[in-house]
Structure 1
Amino acid sequence: MDHLKGKVAIVTGVSRLKGIGAAICKELADSGYHIFFTYWTEYDKKMPWSIEIDEPVKLKEELIKKGIKVSFMELDLTQHDAHEQLLNKVSEQLGSPDILINNAAYSTNNDFSNLTAEELDKHYMVNVRATTLLSSRFAQRFDKKSGGRIVNITSGQFQGPMPGELAYATTKGAVDALTITLSAELAPLGITVNALNPGPTDTGWMTEEIKNELKPMFPFGRIGKPRDVAKTIKFLVSDEADWITGQIIHSEGGFKR
């Protein structure tokens, strides 16, 4: 793994050990990347899945055992300067980053009948504003000739409607648009930009009823796992994927809505 020596990956939204963010961190760490991840426990504590307060620390300890450098910070991505706070901390502790995985997301259930301006703003601030500003500033600071990678996690909203998730679908749709345009702007800098839709993924939020409802929609007969997402991202950030950019990749096991 000599070609990975010193490569630094940022992964946002890594609060829970069962989550997609944690799986991404583990997969990249196994490949030799140094990891900097963010988390925001206030959000996860309000969600049905909740969170144990020490989960980020446990993840850091697990990653360190893999022989790579690891750092993290708790960060509220709704803050106007969150992107500067994060990139400053990464540079200070691990050096200039090579990879940015925009995994953090804000999501609550709502539809046309109960959507409020406040709730829409919360979705926008995390899913669109933070992702756009962090990606832009990452690119502005990128000081290498090639090998830069940005991967945005999206949700397949253009694969079909998402009733009951109006704000989430709207803002994730903006992430797809961002990916396509930003990829053209950043290619001359040696940075690829792609988005990944993992489809329904069992990160601990699914009840048995939901699992039984979803399973027939997967041709492989099982529901997506966090490592399925992580393995695809490991490829997208590798040297082998340096000719792939501006793509919305639906890595969801043939899921049929």
Structure 2
Amino acid sequence: MTERNIALVTGASKGIGAAIALALAEDGFDIWLNYRNDHAAAEAVRDAIQAKGAACTLLSFDVADGDKVKAALDPLLAQAVPFAVVNNAGFTKDGLLPLMPPEAWKSVLSVHLDGFYNVTRAILPLMLRKRKGRVVNIVSTSGQSGMPGQTNYSAAKAGLIGATKALAAEVAKRNILVNAVAPGFIETEMIKNLPKEHILPRIPLGRVGSAQEVADAVSFLCSDKATYITGQVLAVNGGIYM
């Protein structure tokens, strides 16, 4: 019996993260599903993953807390090494920079950048030893074009794009591919209060995207169809930024 690959997906109890976890389960991965504190939502995603015939291990920890990341992952890493790591955990605390409190700046950067470092750093040495693996970072159009009222979020996502490219160059010779997926406006909780009537005219395709469309891009980058792609940012944005 062929051993199944494992994918660790952070921030996967809802929205884009949940869609990614389900798509990878459909592709034949067993899932390590990270979330912070929404146990009921995480359990619902786990049940859906198991219904697809995949195993799912729930991991409740804050990616920004290095000690908690280590405590959660070390026991699992002693037994197995994920083939794919999807750094999806993130959130927004929007506001104009002159009015932005330090906590809104630091917390957004910490979850995105420290979270990427803590999770990827925990697994990468083992990937290097195996000489195979995929890292996919979920970034944003905001990190490519900048977004007023999101200086913190834009800075975090732009930093993650830079980290993607640098890490891709570092580990390519060990057959580890590192890429990013940059969603635009996607139908999730993050945009539910935004004025669609102002957003849609700016999108060439005339609609917002779905979490499944982002998940399909991640599925591709984790598949055997993407073996010559690394250091790239795959935009899933309907053409709003080209």
Task: Verify: 1:85 aligned to 2:83, yes or no.
Answer: no
Q: Are the aligned partners of 1:197 and 1:250 in contact in 2 as well (CA < 8 Å)? A: yes
25, 29, 45: which one pairs with 1:29? Answer: 25
Instruction: Provide TM-score, normalisation by structure 2.
Output: 0.91
- Residue 176 (structure 2) aligns with: 191
Q: Which amino acid aligns with 1:97?
A: P
Per mean C-alpha deviation after superposition, the further-off stretch among 132-141 and 201-210 is 201-210
Which runs of structure 2 are paired with 1:220-239 in the superposition (5 Å)?
Answer: 220-239=205-224
Q: Are the aligned partners of 1:90 and 1:97 in contact in 2 as well (CA < 8 Å)? A: no
Offset, 1:88: 1.8
Per mean C-alpha deviation after superposition, the further-off stretch among 26-35 and 201-210 is 201-210
Cα distance, 1:90–1:224 mapped onto 2, change above 3 Å: farther
Which runs of structure 2 are paired with 1:122-161 in the superposition (5 Å)?
Answer: 122-142=107-127, 143-146=129-132, 148-161=133-146
Instruction: Provide TM-score, normalisation by structure 1.
Output: 0.86
Q: Report percent identity of matched pairs.
A: 30
Q: Are the aligned partners of 1:139 and 1:186 in contact in 2 as well (CA < 8 Å)? A: no
Q: Are the aligned partners of 1:201 and 1:223 in contact in 2 as well (CA < 8 Å)? A: yes
Cα distance, 1:75–1:12 mapped onto 2, change above 3 Å: same
Task: Note the alpha carbon deviations across 1:89-116, whole angstroms, 9 max, x for none.
Answer: 44367x2111000000132112221222
Offset, 1:72: 0.9
SS of residue matched to 1:202: coil
Q: Which has the higher helix share?
A: 2
Structure 2: distance between partners of 1:254 and 1:24? 21
Offset, 1:84: 1.8
What are structure 1's unaligned runs of at least 5 residues? 42-50
Per mean C-alpha deviation after superposition, the further-off stretch among 228-237 and 108-117 is 108-117
Q: Are the aligned partners of 1:24 and 1:227 in contact in 2 as well (CA < 8 Å)? A: yes
C-alpha RMSD over aligned residues? 2.1
What are structure 2's unaligned runs of at least 5 residues? none
Q: Are the aligned partners of 2:168 and 2:177 in contact in 1 as well (CA < 8 Å)? A: yes
- Residue 8 (structure 1) aligns with: 6
40, 43, 58: which one pairs with 1:57? Answer: 43
- Residue 240 (structure 1) aligns with: 225
Cα distance, 1:60–1:158 mapped onto 2, change above 3 Å: closer
Structure 2: distance between partners of 1:183 and 1:86? 26
200, 207, 210: which one pairs with 2:185? Answer: 200
Cα distance, 1:109–1:208 mapped onto 2, change above 3 Å: closer
Q: Are the aligned partners of 2:112 and 2:160 in contact in 1 as well (CA < 8 Å)? A: yes
Structure 2: distance between partners of 1:234 and 1:64? 18
After the TM superposition, which parts of structure 1 deviate over 3 Å for at least 4 consecutive aligned residues? 204-209
Cα distance, 1:244–1:155 mapped onto 2, change above 3 Å: same
Q: How many positions carry a matched residue from both structures?
A: 241
